[in-house]
Structure 1
Amino acid sequence: MAGTEQTTRERILAHGLDLLSEVGLSGVTLGVLAENVGMSKSGLFAHFRSKDAVQIALLQQMARTANAVVVAPAMQRPPGLARLTTLVEGWLGWTTRAGLRGGCPVAAALFELDDVDGEVRDEVVAMEARWRGLLSQLTREAMDEGALRPDLDIEQFVWEFCGLYLSHHASHRFLRDPQAEARALRAFAALVDRSRPNSSSKETHS
């Protein structure tokens, strides 16, 4: 019985993540998800006791999926710029490679939940903090390997890096710009070039 329940839960999460990537958090309710999965709302309620519980479980499923598609391949590369670059290349448009119909749920949630408090927002905030922590770690590794200058402002580098990703998300998903990925990769290359030890550009601080 436990195995069957686990299989059902996995099926719900797989269908639900695909739905989440298309309609965002506000579009994922118990009723909509039950219809999408092909089960009754009461049957779904046996696995998830509230809409928030469903949404948090789907966000956690998204993190596991993104880890397999984006993070794991990057961590197979040597520490340094090669690892960071592989992560960037895997991050851009990762949902397509993961077989999802829509875009990145967290990128959408950053705007969807910006003025909303609650457990779901707290989960997204924690996920974003962990992600930026990983980016900071890989940036530090690239500095230690000598690919980036030793006095680089890591927080500023990651801030620009994340802004680049959100610009790609908007261009790719909303504007449907076929050049979105190429432009994002050029922007990342320019950011790296400005951050190399032989770069003549200076960090600016307010």
Structure 2
Amino acid sequence: MNKGKVTKELILQRAFQLASENGLESLTIGELAKQCGMSKSGLFAHFNAKLNLQLSVLAYANDVFAERVIAPARELGDSNIERKIRGLLDAWMTWNHSFQGSCMFLDAWNDAAPEDCPLQLALRQSIDTWLNYLQIQVIKGKENHEFMADLDTQQATFDLYGQYLSAHVFYSIKGEQASQRLFWQGIDNLFTRWKGESIPLGTKI
């Protein structure tokens, strides 16, 4: 890797950290240059515009997500899909190492942005890819008879993502302990239903 690529990699590492803490929209070439100890013109030469910087950080975040969430789960194999999905969820909850009741991808989502906004298109593609990956795991669970044969895998994926979104909201309002407890209780209830089992009496849903 040449010096220019090494420098850009270090810039993206710092930019990813800042975006994780403050949101992707907070990134500016001027502020990032200050954080990296570079001149604004020197940093500008790598990205040319704020949008290019944001898109590069998003691509970098996708790589980090794959490394920290998907790669460890793949090592578990497909013999026990429930274990694999639980591993995915556990890594997902803390993948950017700055979980504070928010998600860098979700924070940058803007429904009011133009439909052809490059950043929003890239964000939607990233989240859609993840949703498809989750659904594939649920389908595998059906195929190896861990889950009910008539399980609606799209609904199951919707429910999984709903637990994730709820956990972020509860983190901000109720704190980490309540968020984690309710998240995993909700996941336990989902797996119970997916297997066609009854949720024990007294379990909160």
TM-score class normalised by the smaller sequence: 0.7 to 0.9
For 2:172 and 2:106, locate their aligned partners in 1 and report how far apart those are by CA, in whole Å. 11
1:45 aligns with 2:44: yes
RMSD: 1.8
Deviation at residue 178 of structure 1 after TM alignment: 2.5
Post-superposition CA distance 1:67-118 (Å, at most 9, x none): 111111111113122211111111112222xxx48653113223xx121121
Q: Which has the higher contact order (CA 8 A, sep 6+)?
A: 1
Question: Which residue identity lines up with residue 139 of structure 2 in the other structure?
Answer: R
Moved more, 74-83 or 173-182: 173-182
Identity between Structure 1 and Structure 2 (%): 26
Q: Deviations over 1:36-76 (max 9, x none)?
A: 21111111111101111111111111111111111111111
Answer with 121-130 or 159-168: which moved more. Answer: 159-168
The equivalent residue for 1:150 is 149
Distance 1:101 1:74, change over 3 A: closer
Aligned length: 194
The unaligned stretches of length 5 or more in structure 1 are: 201-206
CA drift of 1:199 comes to 5.3
Q: C-alpha distance in 1, partners of 2:95/2:42?
A: 32
Please give the alpha-carbon distance, in whole angstroms, between the structure 1 residues aligned to 2:104 and 2:124. 13
Retained in 2: the 8 A contact 1:92–1:181?
Answer: no
The answer to whether residue 91 in structure 2 is matched with residue 90 in structure 1 is yes
Runs of 4+ in structure 1 deviating by more than 6 angstroms, as ranges, are none
TM-aligned CA distance change 1:101 to 1:125, over 3 Å: closer
Deviation readout 1:96-148 (Å, 9 max, x if unpaired): 2xxx48653113223xx121121000000000110001001111111111111
Check whether the contact 1:107–1:166 (CA below 8 A) recurs between aligned residues. no
- Which residues of 2 match residues 31-110 of structure 1 at below 5 A? 31-79=30-78, 80-96=81-97, 100=98, 103-110=102-109
Contact 2:93–2:99 under 8 Å retained in 1: no
TM superposition shift of 1:157? 0.8
Which residue matches 2:139? 140
Q: Which moved more, 1:190-199 or 1:123-132?
A: 190-199
In 2, the alpha carbon distance for the partners of 1:18 and 1:28 equals: 10
Q: What TM-score does the superposition give when structure 2 sets the normalisation length?
A: 0.88
Whole-Å separation in 1 of the counterparts to 2:122 and 2:37: 27
- After superposition, the Cα gap between the structure-2 partners of 1:35 and 1:101, relative to the gap in structure 1 and judged at 3 Å, is farther
**In 2, Cα distance between the equivalents of 1:195 and 1:115?**
36
- Contact preservation (8 Å) 1:146, 1:197: no
Q: Which residue of 1 aligns with 2:127?
A: 128
Q: Distance in 1 between matches of 2:35 and 2:198?
A: 52
Match of 1:161 in 2: 160
SS in 2 for 1:179: helix
Structure 2 gap segments, 5+ residues each: 200-205
Report SS of the residue matched to 2:76: coil
Counterpart in the other structure of 1:21: 20
